[in-house]
Amino acid sequence: MTTTSPTAARYAGSRVHRVEDARLLTGRGTYVDDIELPRMVHACFVRSPMARATIVSIDASAAAALPGVVAVFTAADLNGGVKEQWHTSSGEEGPETPRPPLAEGEVRFVGDPVVLVVAGSRYIAEDAAELVEIDYEPLTPVVDYTQAAEATELVHTSHGSNIIGDLGAFPLSTFDDVFDSAAHVVSETIYQQGYAPVPMEGRGLIVDHSATTGDLTIYSATQSPHEVRMFCARLLGLPEHRIRVVMRDTGGSFGQKVMVQRDEMCLMLAGPKLGVPVKWVEDRQENLLSAGMSRREHGVARMAFDDDGVIQAATIDFVQDCGAYPTPWPVMTAAAVGVFFPGPYRVSKATFQARTVYTNTVGRTAYRGPWQFESLAREVLLDIAARRIGIDPAELRRRNLLRKEDIPYASPYGMTYEQISPMETFEQALSMLDYDAFRVEQAQARAAGRYLGVGISNYVEPSTPGYGYYGTEAATIRVEPSGKVNVHVVGGSCGNSIETTVIQLTADALGLNIDDVATVQGDTAVTSFGAGTAGSRSGSMTAGAVGQTATILREKLAAIAAHLLEAAVGDIELTDSRATVRGTPTVGITMAEMAKVAYFEPQKLPPGMTAGLEASSRYTATDTSIFVNATHVCTCEVDPVTGRVDLLRYIVSEDCGPMINPNVVEGQIAGGVVQGIGGALYEELAYDEDGNPVTTTFADYLLPTSTEVPIIEYGHIETPSPGPGGYKGVGEGGAIGAPPAVVNAVADALSPFGVTITRLPLSPARLVGLLDPSTRAADGSDQ
Amino acid sequence: MKSAPFGYQAPTTIAEAVGLLAELGDGAKVLAGGQSLIPMLALRMAVLDELVDIGRIIELRGIQRRDGHLRIGAGTTEAVVGADPDVAAAVPLLTRATPLIGHFQIRNRGTLGGSIAHADPAAEYPAIALALDAGLEVVSTRGRRTIAAADFFDGFWSTTMEPDELLVAVDFPVWTGRRGFAVEEFARRHGDFAIAGACVGVALDDNDRVTRCAIGLIGLGAKPERPTAAEASVVGVGVTDVVADDLGRLAVADLSSIPSDLQGSARYRERVGAAMVSRAFTAAATEARRD
């Protein structure tokens, strides 16, 4: 069979303007709250004000009697409707943690949904919520996750322990002989605070149940409309094809909306009982109370080095706080921290121990690089080690990083790193900074009483999971009768430019002018199943799906053109939305002319060819993971009087393979870096010792803004992956690499004071507390 | 985050506004720029029967130079205060502090009077009013009076205004001669309320001796604070003989209600406050010496 190759990429690799920008930047996006349906009512939750308490009684009579109130639901009204409540990626047989829609008998964190109030407006719903009287009998909460395993109080009595799971590789003592005989052993306990994805748009959905047909339409802020549909079908026991889930624009997610949580379950259960559409849009306070926490964890990171600073062994023993209701089951994601702890370095001896625990705080959810503690712990430890051994931190890394000649490299846990370039990104980033010049500048500044620092981090991360739920992706490309083209993929864009990406790829694959291509995404009624946005998978997977589908269509187009132009199929070229004959570019036929024949004059098609111009195909990933590496370098100045940190330069050199669109790549990196800077310096989802959250508005939960973040500088190394187009995932890395780079820069700035930084965030008060312990709070904490 | 129901009145004259305040009583609250009150209503931290919106009262706006004073209408927005050349010439501290108030969107709505009447101890204008001995002119149906700034702030978000009184204008004394001003504050992020800050005014005689020193402390108590002993300690001293760090330490030495929270302990804030006084004094003194 003759295959027509795509012409040279015209759009892939170029900085095509995002097709999403015109609507998003002019305030014309369509988020859940922008959708208005006739007769729609509005929901609000009554949430627990206590970290742990028995629900003695609920009196909703006054709330129900308030004019405008439509319904008031408690656990007794909704929870019995649950048929099944498992997420597709975890599987029906997978281990699970509890997930009651409304709290039943006991509340387990401040923010736990107890009652669902539905009214004619959100204002009235909130008025009614204040009228619900709940009698609580307080119980002693488990707040400090570091004590949870030994606590006598249990978050979930039925579980019998606050330990969700322990998982490890080899025993931690496996390499004791290596540590015992090493020239240098460096071990530190490193703490990361809880922080959260904080999407601009909170969670939200509209559930529209048709009483006449029984069909359910859900408008959802999600990363994965098909998962919302599958989950809802199982939850309610409805046939999947009677449910349609539509996502329009989703205003950020970063993992928080990757799976259905309890609040959304309540709306799905309540919707069919109401007879009218019901909307719930999470407000900021709810988002910070109840949408999920990430990152809160600590671990003992330990490395053995020889005399030259060459790593002999590496271990990490860590504990993650999973709150009361984690989503998804957290034990496996915790293991990823252990597996990636050795990083992009030559480490042949490594092991880990991971523990996940329940506490009476908001549940742990996925967040951009959920395993990023491996990089934080490793890279912070490497800088501490460099100072102790007396070697420059860049040089210590250089002696241990994987070099070209080491690759392919088998990690201690059996993963094979190929197509990565740790030494190349490292040297590129250092050269962008001019590392040696910075060290000179730093010395001069110190002499003048100013404290500058530089921090480096390297990492390797898995992207594009190629198994199970995530392992395939579909596309339908439809040349409409006018010759204009629509490409249908599920997408799941939460701001990550999948529309632009798919349009670029389709235009290249079919030789189309980019303005002739549009895309349809996010609606289960008109897209085939796909897992949506997760695991930095969209670039590679949609490239696979579009590429495979376009190949089918390209062959059909070539056959039609060859037939109509009386040329050989092998001589047909597709370019500029036309088919031409190789060597005779004046002889050609437009896409519009071919579409007209395909739809309206099928008798002119090659004999036996079916009418129409449309193809669908489903791509199957070939690799379990596509590995990506990067180096982050950050410089800063610290004021030792106030603890103020000013970031001066921020450099990222990454290898995400060939770039489909450098603007999109850099946008993804920037977003992640800013979140990582937030985690290192500003953000903390904090609780007091009684389990009361103390950061429930943006006055207290501090996000970095444009005034705190320096210009981010990008370097690119493009080593093709084995996947479609050689592309790799780039969605998560920024958030992985940034925290350790910032921490190391601050620690380097303060190195003349001999302090060791092991606890985040680096608030000014915490830094001053390290320099002057007398400024710490009375309880001795460094807050 | 939807407010509880409230009544809303939008008078167009001061007389009408104070009439409403007298009539509506304790359940009524004046709405100025709304940059603190509206979020508090949305969070249901405040539940009020009636809002009296003074945003349409033209006579509350404007800036006038009078002999020895700069009079600013309470309804003048922070953005206008920050950009006004008369303010810059007469009361430079206001001009320099204004960019530190929130973000420009906030300053476009927030008003000078709203900030002072709200009396947040971490806000800039209350501390400046206190340091410069401003006069706060208030009106009710019972008449008009001027409250000295030293008598105006009496606790966290609390003033000595009666519930039926409306702040209509603030009179800032204008310093003449060789003088310098500076405001220094430390906030976690640009636009946040300060962890600690200080505004300082310094006047010098022709021999560079300090004739006057005014210090307002920001974020270091339940209300804006004025460390009078520290101020007095430098009067009569040659400005180059003042050890600014010592002045800073003295300025925060007697504070008894420094807040302590997630952003820092009282001891931490004290340290930062001392540094802010020191830095602000140094900058103000440098400016005064150039005068």
Contact A79, A236 (CB under 8 A): no
Residues B116, B147, single domain; the answer is yes
What confidence score (pLDDT) does residue A782 get?
Answer: 46
Q: A700 vs B195: CB contact, 8 Å cut-off?
A: no
Q: Give the CATH number, domain containing residue A667.
A: 3.30.365.10
- Give the end of a domain, one of A588, A620, A652: A620
Handedness of CA B260, B261, B267, B272 (dihedral sign): negative
CA A152 to chain B, closest CA, distance in angstroms equals: 28
Over residues A469-478, the pLDDT tens digits come to 999 999 999 9
- The partner residue sitting opposite A707, judged by closest CB among B190, B260, B262, is B190
Residues A610, A634, single domain; the answer is no
What confidence score (pLDDT) does residue A1 get?
Answer: 40
What confidence score (pLDDT) does residue A778 get?
Answer: 60
Residues B101, B198, single domain; the answer is no
CA B28 to chain A, closest CA, distance in angstroms equals: 20
- Give the end of a domain, one of B173, B205, B234: B173
CB atoms within 10 A of CB B228: 14
Farthest CA pair distance, chain B: 62
- Of A413 and A778, the structure prediction assigns the larger pLDDT to A413
Q: Is A751 near chain B, with CB under 8 Å?
A: no
Determine the average pLDDT of the residues in A679-691: 97
Q: How many CA atoms lie within 13 A of A194 on its CB side?
A: 28
Q: Is pLDDT of A399 > 90?
A: yes
Q: Using a CB-CB distance cutoff of 8 angstroms, which residues of chain A are in contact with residue B105?
A: none
Q: A682 vs B267: CB contact, 8 Å cut-off?
A: no
Residues B40, B98, single domain; the answer is no
Q: CA torsion angle for A69, A75, A80, A84 (degrees, to 10)?
A: 110
Residues A659, A768, single domain; the answer is yes
What confidence score (pLDDT) does residue A6 get?
Answer: 55
Mean pLDDT of chain B: 96
What kind and span of H or E run contains A417?
strand A416-417
Pick from A30-34, A395-399, A774-778, B7-11: least confident: A774-778
What confidence score (pLDDT) does residue A329 get?
Answer: 87
For A18, which DSSP code?
P
Q: How confident is the model at residue A8 (pLDDT cuts 50, 70, 90)?
A: low
What confidence score (pLDDT) does residue A430 get?
Answer: 98
Q: B275 vs A642: CB contact, 8 Å cut-off?
A: yes
Residues A631, A603, single domain; the answer is no
Q: B1 vs A285: CB contact, 8 Å cut-off?
A: yes
Chain center to CA of A155: 27
Q: Complex ipTM, two decimals?
A: 0.95
- Give the end of a domain, one of B140, B157, B173: B173
Q: What is the Cα–Cα distance from B264 to B277, expressed in whole angstroms?
A: 18
What confidence score (pLDDT) does residue A95 get?
Answer: 82
Over residues A152-197, the pLDDT tens digits come to 999 999 999 999 999 999 999 999 999 999 999 999 999 999 999 9
pTM (two decimals): 0.96
Over residues A610-629, the pLDDT tens digits come to 999 999 999 999 999 999 99
Q: Which domain holds residue B19?
A: 7-53
Determine the average pLDDT of the residues in A629-635: 98
Residues B71, B168, single domain; the answer is yes
Helix, strand, coil: what percent of chain A each, to 5? 35, 25, 40
User: Does a structural domain hold residue A614?
Assistant: yes
Q: Which of residues 83-142 of A touch B (CB under 8 A)?
A: 122-123, 126-127, 130
Residues A581, A700, single domain; the answer is no
Q: A783 vs B264: CB contact, 8 Å cut-off?
A: yes
Over residues A334-357, the pLDDT tens digits come to 999 999 999 999 999 999 999 999
Q: Give the CATH number, domain containing residue B42.
A: 3.30.43.10
Over residues B19-30, the pLDDT tens digits come to 999 999 988 999
Residues A598, A652, single domain; the answer is no
User: Does a structural domain hold residue A353?
Assistant: no
Q: Is pLDDT of A7 > 80?
A: no
Determine the average pLDDT of the residues in B254-280: 95
Residue A719 structure tokens: 């080593």
Q: Which domain holds residue A445?
A: 420-458+626-783
Q: Give the CATH number, domain containing residue B129.
A: 3.30.465.10
Q: A641 vs B264: CB contact, 8 Å cut-off?
A: no
Chain B contact residues (CB < 8 Å to A): 1-5, 39, 43-44, 186, 188-193, 195, 260-265, 267-268, 271-272, 275
Mean pLDDT of chain A: 96
Q: Is pLDDT of A4 > 90?
A: no
What confidence score (pLDDT) does residue B291 get?
Answer: 83
Q: Using a CB-CB distance cutoff of 8 angstroms, which residues of chain A are in contact with residue B271?
A: 641-642, 768, 772, 775
DSSP B248-261: HHHHHHT------B
Domain count, chain A: 2
- The partner residue sitting opposite B263, judged by closest CB among A285, A765, A769, is A765
User: Does a structural domain hold residue B58?
Assistant: no
Residues A609, A691, single domain; the answer is no
Please return the burial class of B133, using the count of CB atoms within 10 Å of its CB with bins 0-12, 13-18 and 19+.
middle
Q: How confident is the model at residue A676 (pLDDT cuts 50, 70, 90)?
A: very high
Residue A380 structure tokens: 């912070």
Q: Using a CB-CB distance cutoff of 8 angstroms, which residues of chain A are in contact with residue B44?
A: 126, 130
Residues A600, A740, single domain; the answer is no
Residues A434, A551, single domain; the answer is no
Determine the average pLDDT of the residues in A482-490: 98
What confidence score (pLDDT) does residue A605 get?
Answer: 97
Task: Tell me which residue has tokens 């993650």.
Answer: A320
- The partner residue sitting opposite B268, judged by closest CB among A127, A285, A768, is A768
Residues A564, A694, single domain; the answer is no
Residue A155 structure tokens: 């978050």
Residues A636, A740, single domain; the answer is yes
- Give the end of a domain, one of B173, B199, B227: B173
**Interface mutation vs chain B, best among A126, A677, A683, most B CBs within 10 Å:** A126
Domain count, chain B: 3
Q: How confident is the model at residue A685 (pLDDT cuts 50, 70, 90)?
A: very high
Q: A783 vs B267: CB contact, 8 Å cut-off?
A: no
Contact B200, B234 (CB under 8 A): no
Over residues A360-380, the pLDDT tens digits come to 999 999 999 999 999 999 999
CB atoms within 10 A of CB A344: 31
Residues A608, A631, single domain; the answer is no
Peptide bond before B173: cis, by omega within 30 degrees of 0? no
Sorted by sequence, the CB contacts under 8 Å of residue A232 that are 6+ apart come out as A216, A218, A238, A243, A245, A260, A268
- Give the end of a domain, one of A620, A653, A685: A620
Q: What percent of chain A has pLDDT over 90?
A: 95
What confidence score (pLDDT) does residue B262 get?
Answer: 87
Over residues A64-75, the pLDDT tens digits come to 999 999 999 999
- Comparing CA positions, the residue from B219, B203, B243 lying closest to residue B126 is B219
Q: Is pLDDT of A781 > 70?
A: no
What kind and span of H or E run contains B78?
helix B78-83
Q: How confident is the model at residue A519 (pLDDT cuts 50, 70, 90)?
A: very high
Residues A607, A635, single domain; the answer is no
